[in-house]
Amino acid sequence: MEITPGVHRITDINGSNAVLIVDEQMAVVDTGISGNGESIVSYIKSIGRDPRDLRWILVTHFHFDHSGSAQELHELTGAKIVSHRAETELTSEGKSLLIKGNEGAEGPPKIYSWLMGRRGNKRTQEIKYHDTEVHETVEEDDVIPCLGGIRIMHTPGHTPGSICPVLEGPRVLFLGDSVLNNINRLSRPLMWDRNKRRELDTSLRRLRELDSDVAMFGHGPPLTDDVNNKVRGLTDRPYDLPTWKIVLKNWRTLRKWRETTSKPGHWGAGPK
């Protein structure tokens, strides 16, 4: 589905959203969980393009629900997998691999486990992660030459190497999991570590100066109206709250979300 000229939200994707940026050489932002490679290739063909025109697979952060199909898509198309350096680790052979893991790895506070009536993060532990080779790393202000340029903003907090790519042609902001679109409001991801919440707030305040026409999210529909005011409104609400307040504030939403979410790779992701 084309959201704005040259920017497509790919259909039939499990996990996070996957977005295709269409130019002479194309890019995909995030891939969802594993098993989405063929769907992405099929979508590229459906708009009359050759999958071999895909050059970049840009991963906003390492979590499996965003990166799970990156390796598969690389093998199908030859496109390079790109992430921030802080999302990678080197093997003994010097190969750069995406960090393996998903949300919830740090574990919830005990009060959360008690409120939810379960222990730990069992689903996260059951996921079998595969190697994902990173062919190119990016840093702050690097630009990928696609559709007027995709400028990289390093926005740590959700993960150390989270990025918010900014498409400077159609003025589209990609927020990954740094901001979630709950349709009626924007929110930040549920995070247990207060220091990480503070770091995320610092990153998000940098977005206040952007002038975007469209915002794309890792989870939730695109935002096409009043983007700048809504993003600024979110950053007006500090996330520097004690963890116990975060738990008590969200437990009803979390319980309902847990009851309705069964797809692998989603446990621990918070009220998205």
Q: What is the Cα–Cα distance from 176 to 162, expressed in whole angstroms?
A: 8
- Give the model confidence (pLDDT) of 89-114 as tens digits: 999 998 999 999 987 655 566 655 66
Closest CA to 87 of 163, 186, 182: 163
End-to-end alpha carbon distance in the chain: 21
- Give the model confidence (pLDDT) of 168-197 as tens digits: 989 999 999 999 998 778 989 888 888 999
Supply the pLDDT for residue 184. Answer: 79
- Give the model confidence (pLDDT) of 125-159 as tens digits: 467 899 999 999 999 999 999 999 999 999 999 99
Across 71-78, average pLDDT: 98
267 pLDDT exceeds 80?
no
Supply the pLDDT for residue 124. Answer: 44
270 pLDDT exceeds 50?
no
How much is the pTM?
Answer: 0.86
Cβ–Cβ < 8 Å for 264, 68: no
Q: What is the Cα–Cα distance from 112 to 144, expressed in whole angstroms?
A: 41
122 pLDDT exceeds 50?
no
- Torsion on CA atoms 26, 103, 88, 56, rounded to nearest 10: 0
115 pLDDT exceeds 60?
no
- Give the model confidence (pLDDT) of 196-209 as tens digits: 999 999 999 999 99
- Give the model confidence (pLDDT) of 220-244 as tens digits: 999 999 999 999 999 888 787 777 6
Supply the pLDDT for residue 216. Answer: 98
In the chain, the percentage of residues whose pLDDT exceeds 90 is: 70
